């Protein structure tokens, strides 16, 4: 016959061990989650930075494309546009006023 005190001791021991491992598991999983969040945050920050850099590059490209000297050259060379001469201006007088 086993003593009563021994069963109680075993029960407490199992409970304490269980709680200890539960605590350990919770702590480590939380910590791992934090580390994972750290990585994800870092990735997002990097992505944001890259996107901002892309915006800058695209803004610069857009400004280059809209450069008036370039546009003027293109319309003159490719479309054959010319600045109007003085004789090509038509003056309209508003006599109603």
Partner 1 sequence: MKVNRSERKRAFVVFLFFCTWFLVVFVTLIKTQVLDYNRYLAKIKAQSHRILKLHPKRGTIYDSRGEVLAISVKTKSLFLSNKDGRKSRRLLDLVCRTIPLDRERVRSIRRRIDRDEHFIWVKRKLEDKDYARLKALRKRVDEGRYLGFIDEHKRIYPQSGRAAHILGGVGIDEQGLYGIEYTLDGVLKGKGGRVKAVMDARQRVFRFQYLEEPVAGRDVYLTIDSVVQFFVEKELARAVETSHAKGGAVVVLDPEDGRVLAMASHPGYLPGRLRYTPVHLLKNRAVSFLFDPGSTFKIVLASSALENKVCYPQQVFNCYNGTYTLEQREISDVHPYDKLTFEDIIIKSSNIGAARIGLRVGKTRFFETVQDFGFGEKTGIRLPAEERGILNPLERWNQISVASISFGYEISVTPLQMARAFNTIATGGYLVTPHLVENIVGMRLPPVRRRRVLSASTCHTLLPILTEVVRRGTGTKARIEGVNIAGKTGTAQKNIGGRYEQVYVSSFGGFFPAQNPRLTIFVLLDEPRGFFYGGDVAAPLFRRVAERLMVYLRVLPELEGSSELRI
**Residues of the shown chain interacting with partner 1 in the complex, contacts defined by CB under 8 A:** 35, 38-39, 42, 53, 56-57, 59-64, 66-69, 89-95, 97
Residue 70 phi/psi, 5-degree rounding, is -70, -45
CB of 33 to partner 1, least distance (A): 12
Residue nearer to partner 1 on the CB measure, 10 or 31: 31
For residue 20, what are the CA distances in angstroms to 24, 39, 75?
6, 28, 79
Distance of closest approach, residue 28 Cβ to partner 1, in angstroms: 16
Q: How far is the CB of 63 from partner 1 (least distance, A)?
A: 3
Cα–Cα dist 52/45, whole Å: 10
Question: Exposure pattern of 59-77 as b/e (b: 16+ CB <10 Å)?
Answer: eeeeeeeeeeeeeeeeeee
Nearer to partner 1, 1 or 96 (CB): 96
Between 3 and 88, CB nearer to partner 1: 88
């Amino acid at each position: 016959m086993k003593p009563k005190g021994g069963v109680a001791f075993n029960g407490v021991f199992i409970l304490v061990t269980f709680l200890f491992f539960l605590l350990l598991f919770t702590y480590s999983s939380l910590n791992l989650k934090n580390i994972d969040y750290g990585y994800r945050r870092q990735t997002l920050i990097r992505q944001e930075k890259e996107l901002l850099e892309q915006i800058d590059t695209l803004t610069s490209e857009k400004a280059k494309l809209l450069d008036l000297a370039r546009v003027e050259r293109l319309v003159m060379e490719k479309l054959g546009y010319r600045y109007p001469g003085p004789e090509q201006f038509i003056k309209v007088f508003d006599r109603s006023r």
